[in-house]
Amino acid sequence: MRCAFAALGFFAASGAATANEVDAGRAIFETGVGVTARIMGMDLPGTGFACRRCHGLDGAGGREGATVMPAIGWDKLAAPVASRPAYTPELFRKALETGISPSGRALDAAMPRYRLDGAQADALMAYLMALPAIERRGIEADAVHLGVLSTPRSQALASAYARALERALAERIPAHGIFGRTVKVRPVGVAAGTDLKTAVERSPVVAMIGLAPADSGLIADLLGDGMPVLFPLFPLAGTEDRDLAHGLMADWPAVADAIALRIKADGRSDIILAAGDAGDGRLAALAAALTRAGVSYRLGDDLSVGMASAVLLLPRPGAAGAWITRLRRDAVLYGMAEDFVALRVRLNGAGIRYRLAVQGTSVASMAATAQLGALEAHALMAADLLHGLLLSAGRDLRRATLLAGFRNLRRQAAPNLFLDYATHPSSGTAAVEFIVE
Amino acid sequence: MIPDRYFLIALLAAGLGGGGAMLMSRSAAVETVDGARAFPMEVIELPDIAVLDGEGRALSLRKEAVGDALLVVNFNFTTCETICPVGNVVMKAIDDRARTEVPMPVRLLSITIDPARDTPRKMRKAASEAGASAQWLWLTGAPADIDLLLGRFDARAADIQFHDPMFLIGDARSGRFRRIVGLPKPERVLEELRGFAS
């Protein structure tokens, strides 16, 4: 269940709003869902005109050309300024609906007028009131806390990663910290019978680092609650929130593009895309990539792999690999290397030719360069990137200023590998190498 | 002081002839309606360049993308989530209404200000999301060509994140265009188009 972790404490103290209200307000603020935007007399879905798009994730506003988007955190709205009196809840709703500010003047034409009911307006206000606390979650005057999530499924890996990250941060960041704040790794344990919400509430952090593959199913809940997920130990799907999620290995669309281009370069024309029952979004990414590359294909499953001379396979999770015997002798198998780790010996034994994309190419390159294990190399790179982000955020560290650093973040990770988030905002890289047999 | 600067521009324009006419006119009376600023008529000659439409086809800007139609031009980039979508709503309304409310063919052009990133595929996707008809072309091209085009329209942005919404309404055959900076009501643009058609 989605919940605004930091806001809970705030509202429990004030009694002003419920966590559900804050959640509903966050949804309106971030996605515009459920409201109607009126622009130039036309009613349009609010999803194209969410508050966040112009006023920013933190509601701090900004400007584009001559158009000023003001700060809309409630602390700002509730304070009078030279150009207008303070907003009250009634004036706020009036401004949203009619475009008339408390001064009586019309808001800029670029600001849509919104149609929303009383409960939606209250929810949006509740979120704007909670926003300053959400922005400073895990940030103290003398420390900043980075989280490593640990669940019963991921405990051993998460624990090892937290230790590796601590060591790496100690190497990168001076003991006196950055801008007066020491950087601490805070394990966020989700014990059996405890929900994610409670765990994160108890251990506030500014971002969750190195999420384990076994916990990949929690990424939507974390992002949905506005928690940044940085440098997970698995590739991002590329469909996550662009501000809140950043990886450091090629995301699925990039891997899918690499595979499609490889098939095209190999001159394959008789292709079957066999997806088993993989329902995790990779099938869609591969199908889209093949279409982009102009490669025609047929859809199939692991029972029909013998029908083509080139097979692009997403095996069913836990499948034993009986399909190997169905492959044609002249077939070439394409796929993602991570899917075939346990089957590689059998593939080699059967004499199957394959081209397998390594999703973790960037981490493998870092590990080879640093002569470290993959986990240590990942943690070292994550620490380096976090160091850069904390420096660029400056003294006014907030969630938004931390994440803003990705716009210009570029680091050399290996002799021929740069992580460049201006070019690849999701993951910094599209580097994909193949294991060829 | 601003008046002095305008005076100097006027003097310079007088000395340079036609090339300075736009500078002079841009400093002249500006009509502001609903926050959008409409500038006096100016003359713009479209460059003879090739542009790419959403299908990746190379089109002659003058002959194929524009032809004999009246024009409404705006500038955007596909990753813009702030004001561009609002500008696209204005374009969409014009696109929907021009066919029945303007007695001449009207062509709408959305020109990227980020040609290095905006591929034809991205432009096609953005056009589809905006609900563009076949008369509303989303154009990209070689960065040097697009830069030349933006220069002619005086629409270069030092930083694409900080560009103003801008619409140019006109007739490429005569080269006369009305520039509106801000977000005009569609009725205002349709009225301009009818003026060009008459």
How would you class B116 by CB atoms within 10 Å of its CB: exposed for 0-12, middle for 13-18, buried for 19 or more? exposed
In tens digits, what is the pLDDT along chain A, a chain of 437 residues? 334 433 333 333 344 578 789 989 999 999 999 999 999 888 999 999 999 999 999 999 988 877 889 999 999 999 999 999 999 999 999 999 999 999 999 998 889 999 999 999 999 999 999 999 999 999 999 999 999 999 999 999 999 999 999 999 999 998 889 999 999 999 999 988 788 888 888 889 999 999 999 999 999 999 988 899 999 999 999 889 989 999 999 999 999 999 999 999 999 888 999 876 555 678 888 888 998 898 999 888 777 788 888 888 887 766 677 788 888 888 899 998 888 888 888 888 888 899 999 988 999 888 888 889 999 999 999 999 999 999 999 999 999 999 999 999 999 988 889 999 999 999 999 999 999 98
User: Could you give the CA distance from residue A364 to residue A249 in angstroms, rounded to a whole number?
Assistant: 10
Strands, sheet with A353-358, edge to edge from the N-terminal-most edge strand? A298-300, A271-274, A310-313, A332-336, A353-358, A433-436
Residue A108 has its nearest CB partner, among B35, B162, B163, at B35
Sign of CA dihedral A77, A79, A82, A84: positive
Measure CB to CB from residue A110 to each of B83, B121, B163 and give the nearest one: B83
Q: Which residues of B touch A53 (CB under 8 A)?
A: 81-82, 85
Hey, of B75, B82, B95, which one would you mutate to test binding to chain A, going by the most A CBs within 10 A of its CB? B82
DSSP three-state, residue A80 = coil
Measure the CA–CA gap between A361 and A221, rounded to whole angstroms.
27
- CB–CB contact B183 A110 (8 Å): yes
How many A×B Cβ pairs under 8 Å? 56
- Subunit contact A110:B165, Cβ cutoff 8 A: yes
CA distance B120 to B61: 15
Task: Say yes or no for a CB contact (<8 Å) between B82 and A65.
Answer: no
> Residue A42: which of B89, B157, B181 has the nearest Cβ?
B89
Smallest Cα distance from A335 to chain B, Å: 26
Interface residue of A29, A39, A423 to substitute, partner B, most B CBs within 10 Å: A39
Residue of B21, B50, B54 whose CA lies nearest to B136: B54
Q: How close does chain B come to A292, measured CA to CA in Å?
A: 9
Q: How far are the Cα atoms of A27, A113, A341 from residue A43, in angstroms, in the given order?
A: 20, 9, 52
Contacts of A257-260 spanning 24+ positions with Cβ under 8 A:
A257/A289, A257/A292, A257/A293, A257/A430, A258/A357, A258/A430, A258/A432, A258/A434, A259/A286, A259/A289, A259/A312, A259/A334, A259/A335, A259/A336, A259/A355, A259/A357, A259/A432, A260/A286, A260/A289, A260/A290, A260/A292, A260/A293, A260/A295
Q: Shortest CB distance from A64 goes to which of B82, B93, B185?
A: B82
Beta-strand runs (E) in A210-263? 229-230, 245-246
Cross-chain residue pair B183–A64, CB shorter than 8 Å: no
User: What is the end-to-end Cα distance of chain B in Å, rounded?
Assistant: 40
Q: What are phi and psi of B112, to 5 degrees?
A: -70, 145
- Residues of chain A whose beta carbon is less than 8 angstroms from a beta carbon of chain B are 39-42, 44, 48-49, 53-54, 63-67, 69, 106, 108-110, 112, 292
Query: Is the separation of the CB atoms in A410 and A381 below 8 Å?
Result: no
User: A49–B85: do the CB atoms touch at under 8 Å?
Assistant: yes
A53 and B81: CB-CB below 8 Å?
A: yes
| CB contacts, 8 Å: A294 with chain B | none
Token pair in block for residue A10:
């705030």
What is the per-residue DSSP string for B99-137? HHHSSS-EEEEEEES-TTT--HHHHHHHHHHHT--TTEE
Residue whose C-alpha is closest to residue B76's, from B153, B185, B148, B160: B160
Contact criterion met (CB < 8 Å) for A42 and B165 = no
Q: Which of A388, A368, A374 is nearest to A164 (CA)?
A: A374
pTM for the whole thing? 0.78
Gap between the Cα atoms of A274 and A290, Å rounded: 13
DSSP strand pairing (B106-112 vs B136-139) = parallel
Q: Which residues of chain B have pLDDT under 50?
A: 1-25
Whether residue A64 and residue B163 make contact (CB cut-off 8 A), yes or no, is: yes
Do A393 and A407 touch, CB atoms closer than 8 A?
no
Residue among A40, A53, A110 minimizing CB distance to B185? A40
Give B138→chain A minimum CA distance, Å: 19
Residues of A in contact with B81 (CB under 8 A): 53-54
d(CA B101, CA A123): 42
Torsion region of A261: left, alpha or beta (phi above 0 gives left; psi -120 to 50 gives alpha): alpha
Q: How far apart are CA A216 and CA A201, in angstroms?
A: 20
Nearest CA in chain B to A40: B185
Measure the CA–CA gap between A426 and A432, rounded to whole angstroms. 15
